[in-house]
Chains A and B, each alone.
Chain A
Amino acid sequence: MLKTLSRLFAISTLVGTGLVASAPAGLAADIKIGEINSYSALPAFTEPYRKGWQLAVEEINASGGINGDKLVVISKDDGGKPAAAVTAANELVARDGVALITGGFFSNVGLAIADYAKHKKVLYLAGEPLTDAITWSEGNKYTFRLRPSNYMQAAMLAEQAAKLPAKRWATVAPNYEYGQSAVKVFKELLKKAKPDVEFVAEQWPPLGKIDGGAVAQALAAAKPDAILNVEFGADLVQFVREGTTRGLFKDRSVVSFLTGEPEYLEPLKAEAPEGWIVTGYPWYAVDTPEHQTFMKAYEAKYDQHPYLGSVVGYVEFKTIAEILKKAKSTETDDLVAAAEGISLDTPFGKITMRAIDHQSTLGAFVGKTAVKDGKGVMVDFKYEDGANYLPSDAEVKKLRPQG
C-alpha cells in the first residue's frame, strides 16, 4: 500500500510540475490585466459585471488599445472565498505577469486582495467591495476602489432620512461587517443631522437566513416611525413579503440600502415595496447622453438591459485603460502615480480617483421605489455625485494610515 502511496505522491508531484510550470506565452504587445471575481458564488451580480467589462475591453481594443497595445484580460473565479482570491491573485501576478489586478465583490475578498497587493506591491483596483476599511482603516498605497463606499451610500440616505418627520427609528441589517458598518454610519450621520432621533429597535438576522416573519414582528413591536433596511437578495424578498403581509410598512417610512439596484429590485416584480427611499440604478430612466450611449452598446451586444454590475465592470476597465494610457508604462509605481487623481467620463458622468484616499467619486442614484406595469422601479430619483458625500480631507487623513 505504501509503495503505491509514495508512487502516487511522486506521480502527482510530477503532474503538478507540468501543470504549473507551463506558463502561457503572451504576445509582446499585449498588456495583461488580472481580473478576479466571485463568478461561481454570486452569478446574479457577477454575470452582468462580466458582460460590462467585456464590452469595455472590446471598445478599448477597437479604438486602438492602450497607445497601440492590446488589452488582454485573464479572468479568475474566487468562489467567494478570500483565500481562493489570494491564490488567484498570486497566479495572475506571479505566473501570468499581469500589469495590475482588479475585481472582487465581497468586502472580505477585496480586503484580502488589497493586502496581497500591498505586500507584493502591485496595483489593485477594487470594483464592488463596499467596506470603508479598504480605503480607510486598512487603506494602502496600491489599492483603489471604484464603487461608492458604505459611508457614501449611508451619507446619501441619511441626508434624505433627515428630511423625514420620523423620530423613532428601527434598523434591520444582515449580521456581518457590511450590515454592521452601514447601520453604524447611518446612525452617526442621522444623529448629527437631527439630534432628536432615537433608535428604538434593531434586528440582526444572519446573512441568507433571515426569519422574515419573526423579524418583521419584532420590529413592529417597537412601534418605530421609520425603518432602516440593509437586507438584500433573498433575505430582502422574505423581509418584504412578511413585512407587507403583516402591515409593517404601512404608514412607515423605509430607507433602504441598495434596494433600487436592478439586481435586487427586479426579482421582486409586482411585489416590490412602494415609497421606500433607496440607492440604486434606474437604467430605464437615465437619459443622459453618456448613459444612453453605454446602454445602447450594451443592449446591442447582449440583447439584455444593463445591471449595476454591468456599469461597475464597464467603468472598472475604462478606468484601467485611462490609468495605463496616462502612465505609459506597466511599472507599478508609474501606475499608482497615474491613478492618483485621474479623471474620466463614465455612463454616470465624470469621476475622479481621489489621491487622498484612493476612492473614486462615482456616485449613486437616490430615489423612491414604485411599481409600474407589474415591475419595481425607481422614481423621483437624482444622481448624487460621490464627491459630495465624503468626509473632509482632515477627517479622511485621520481615518487612513498615513505614510
Chain B
Amino acid sequence: MALYVVQFLTGLANASSLFLAACGLSVIFGVTRIVNFAHGAFYMLGAYVAYSLTQRLEGGLGFWAGILVAAAVVALVGALLEMSLLRRIYRAPELFQLLATFGVTLMVEDLVHLIWGPQDLVGPRAPGLDGAVTVLGLPVPTYDLLLIVLGPLVLGALWLLMHRTRWGVLVRAATEDRDMVAALGVNQKWLFTGVFTLGIFLAAFGGALQIPRTAVTHQMDLSIIAEVFVVVVIGGLGSITGAFLAAVLIAELNAFGILVLPGISLVLMFLVMAVVLVIRPWGFLGKPIQTGVKTIGEATRPWRPWSPATSVLVAAAILLAALMPLLLGSYGLSVGAQILIAVVFAVSLQFQMSTGGLDSFGHAAYFGLGAYGAALAVEWSGLPMEAALLVGPLAGLAGALVFGWFCVRLSGVYFAMLTLAFAQITWSVAFQWVEVTGGDNGILGVWPSDWASSPAAFYWLTLAVAVVCVLVLRHLVFSPFGYRLRAVRDSTVRAEAIGISRQRTQYVAFAVSGTAAGLAGALFAFLKGSIFPDVLSIPTSIDALVMVLLGGVATVSGSVVGAIVYTMASIWLMSATDLSRLVLGAVIVFLVVAFPQGIVGSLAGLVAGPLERWRRPAGAARPVALPAEGRQ
C-alpha cells in the first residue's frame, strides 16, 4: 500500500514537471496558432542559464533568484525572437512558423555547445530541499513535494491571469476570434509578443526547475519536445487545465505502468495519445479547432498542368539528371541517389499535405515501413531487390491503410498529432521487437542486385522511380480524383453537399501517399545497405516536413526543389563542418524570411505576379476568397 501511495506522489511530481514544461506551449498555441518547435530549445536554455546563475549565487535565496532570473532572461530572448522573426511570418502558410522555429532549434543546439561546452552539467540541489520526508515508512524527496505544489499553483496563477485581468480577457478573445479582436482596435502585435514571452518564460522556468533533479545536457530539447506536444494535444489545444490533466494522466500511468511492464515508458505516452485522440478527437478539454484562414486553397493561383514549354524544360532537366553519371564520381552518384530518394519521400508527403490538406507529422512511419518491409523481405525470404522493391511500397500501403483509417477522422493539428503517435508506435515496435527487426542493431546486408549495384545503375534506378513518382502524383492532382481531393480540402461542406465523401477521399490520398513513401524507404534501405529504427523516428518526419515547406506547401510539386536543396545542404554541411546545425538552422531561418511561401512558391509568385497584373485589365474583379472552412 505504502508503495502505491509513494508511487502516486512520484507520479504527481513528474506530472507537475511535465505540466510546467508544457503549459507555455499551450498558451502560445492557443492564441497565436504557432506550432512552436523551439519550445524544447527554450526549455533547455532555461536549464543552462539557471545552471550558470546558480553556480554563482549562493544559498536558498540565490538558488531561487537564479531560477527566476534564468526564466526571465530566456523569456527576453524569446520576445526578441518573436519580434525579429515570427512577426514577419504570421501571414505565411500554416506550419511555416514550425519551420522557422525548427531552424531556431538547430541553431540553439550548436550555440549551447559553443557557450557551455560539450560535457553534461550537474547543477546544485535546491538548498534545504535535498532531503526526503517519510510517508508511510517510505522516503519521498522534499523537492518532489515542492513540485507537486508548484504545478497547481502555476495552473491557478495562469487561470487568474487569463480570467481576472484585462490582458487575459484580450488573450482569450484572441483565442476565440483573432479578427474580431483586431477589429476592436486591440494591437495584436503586442498581444502576440506578450503571449509568446509568457509561454517562453514558462518553458524556461520548467527547464530551470529540472536542474536539481537531473543533468543539463544537449539532448534536453529534443527529449522534451515530443512529450510537451503530446501533453498539450491530449489536454486539448489551448486548454491549460486540459494540459494539466493530461500531464497527471501520463505521469501516473507511467509510474504504475512500470511496476507491471518495466519497458512500457518507451511507448506509453504515444499509446495514450492515440487512444485519447481516437475516442476524443479534440483532446480532454479542447474544442473543435478553428483553423482560421485555410491558406493553401486561397493563397495560390489555381494550379495548372505544365504548359508545353514547361514540359520541354522539365524533360530537359530530367535528361540532364540522367546524364549525371558522365560527370559525377561514384560518391557524387550515391549522393544523387539519396537526393532522388528524398524527392520521392517529399513529394509523397506533399501530395497529402498540399493536395489533400492533411499535414502529417508522422510520415516517417511509411518511409520506415517501406524500408523495413524491403529489408525483411531480403533477410527472411532472400527475395531479390526487384521483389523487395515491391514489398516496400506494399508495407507502406498496409501501414497507411491501418493508421489512415483512424487518422482521417480527425483534422488539423489533431490529425497531425495522431499521425505522429502512430509513427512513434511503429518506431517503438521496430525498436523493441528485437527478434524480428534486430532492435536498435537493425538489419544489415541489404544491398542491391548485381545489375544495380554500380553507383550509376542505382542512380538511374532511383531517377526512374523519382520521375515516375513525381509524374504519377502530378497526374493524380489533375485527375478527377485530384479535383475531388482539392474540393474537400478547400470546402468540406460544399464538397460533401455534391456527394464527395471527405473521409473516403482523404483515406485514398493517405494510402497513395503512404505507398509512395514506402517506395522511397525501400530504395533507401538498398542505398544504405542497412536499416535501423531511426528511419522511423521523429527527425525523419521532420525532414520530410521541412522539404515540403521549403519547396512551398502551396505548390503542386515544389517539394522536389525543397528536397534537393535541403538534402544537398545537410549532406554537404555535415561533411564540411561540425557546426552543421548552426549553419543549416540559419539557412532555414533566412529562407523562411526571404521566401515566406517556400522557394518555389515565392519564385513562382515573383514571376507570375507581374504577369497576371499585366494580363488582367485594371479594375477587373479579383476572385473572391472563399470563407474559411472549419468554422461550422
Contacts and interface: CB of A to CB of B under 8 A. Distances in A.
Interface of A: 1-10, 12-13, 15-17, 19-21, 23, 39-40, 43-44, 46-47, 76-79, 81-84, 86-88, 90-91, 94-95, 107-108, 111-112, 114-116, 118-119, 131, 133, 138, 175-178, 180, 201-206, 208-209, 211-215, 217-218, 220-221, 233-234, 237-238, 241-242, 245-247, 263, 266-269, 271
Interface of B: 3, 6-7, 10-11, 13-14, 110, 113, 118-122, 125, 130-132, 138-141, 143-144, 212-215, 217-220, 223, 227, 251, 254-255, 258-259, 262-263, 265-266, 306-307, 309-310, 313-314, 316-317, 320-321, 324, 327-332, 334-336, 338-339, 431-432, 434, 439-442, 444-445, 447, 455, 524, 528-530, 532, 534-535, 555, 557-558, 560-561, 564-565, 568, 571-572, 574-575, 578-581, 599-601, 603-604, 607-608
Nearest to B10: A213
A305 B604 CA distance: 57
A78 B532 CA distance: 14
B214 A1 contact: no
A218 B258 CA distance: 8
B254 A1 contact: no
A4 B607 contact: yes
Given A12-B561, A203-B262, A245-B141, A19 B572 contact: yes
A17 B130 CA distance: 60
A237 B214 contact: yes
A20 B313 contact: no
A115 B445 contact: yes
Contact of B604 (A1, A108, A131, A177): A1
Contact of A86 (B530, B568, B603): B530
Nearest to A213: B10
Contacts of A119: 445, 447, 529
A5 B447 contact: no
A118 to B, nearest CB: 8
Most buried by B among A44, A204, A217: A217
Given A9-B560, A19-B568, A245-B130, A81 B3 contact: no
A180 B435 CA distance: 13
Contact of B607 (A3, A91, A237, A247): A3
A91 B575 contact: yes
20 contacts: A1-B601, A2-B314, A4-B604, A7-B313, A8-B600, A9-B560, A13-B317, A17-B327, A23-B329, A90-B330, A94-B334, A115-B530, A177-B439, A177-B440, A180-B434, A203-B262, A213-B10, A213-B141, A217-B7, A269-B122
A221 B2 CA distance: 10
Nearest to A2: B310
A112 B561 contact: no
A6 B317 contact: yes
Given A112-B444, A213-B13, A237-B122, 15 more contacts: A5-B600, A8-B599, A20-B335, A78-B574, A83-B524, A90-B334, A108-B440, A108-B442, A176-B440, A217-B7, A218-B259, A233-B217, A237-B215, A241-B125, A267-B120
A115 B309 CA distance: 46
B441 A39 contact: no
Contact of B258 (A17, A43, A177, A215): A215
A247 to B, nearest CB: 5
What is the interface of chain B mostly: helix, strand, loop, or mixed?
helix
B331 A267 contact: no
Contacts of A118: 445
Contact of A204 (B227, B262, B440): B262
A6 B560 CA distance: 10
B571 A10 contact: no
Contacts of B14: 211, 213-214
B447 A233 contact: no
A83 to B, nearest CB: 5
Nearest to A16: B568
Contact of B331 (A3, A20, A175, A241): A20
Nearest to B264: A204
B336 A16 contact: yes
B330 A94 contact: yes
B327 to A, nearest CB: 5
B441 A131 contact: yes
Contacts of A233: 120, 215, 217
A111 B121 contact: no
B608 A1 contact: yes
Nearest to A114: B444
A213 B534 CA distance: 28
Contact of B532 (A44, A76, A112, A241): A112
Top 9 nearest A-B pairs (CB, nearest first) are A1-B604, A43-B118, A20-B332, A95-B331, A234-B215, A237-B215, A177-B440, A238-B214, A94-B331
Looking at A13, A39, A131, the one whose CB has the most chain B CB atoms below 10 A away is A13
Contact of B7 (A79, A203, A218): A218
Contacts of A211: 10, 14, 251, 254-255, 258, 265
Contacts of B130: 245
B120 A237 contact: yes
Given A115-B445, A175-B263, A177-B434, A17 B7 contact: no
B214 to A, nearest CB: 4
Contacts of A114: 444
A205 to B, nearest CB: 6
Contacts of B524: 83
A5 B120 contact: no
Contacts of A112: 442, 444, 528-530, 532
Name, among B219, B330, B524, the residue most crowded by chain A CB atoms within 10 Å (CB to CB).
Answer: B219
A176 B431 contact: yes
Contact of A245 (B139, B339, B555): B139
Contacts of B139: 245-247
A238 B215 contact: yes
A267 B600 contact: no
Contact of B265 (A133, A205, A247): A205
B108 to A, nearest CB: 13
A119 B306 CA distance: 43
Given A5-B557, A9-B317, A83-B528, A241 B214 contact: yes
A47 B14 CA distance: 33
A221 B266 contact: no
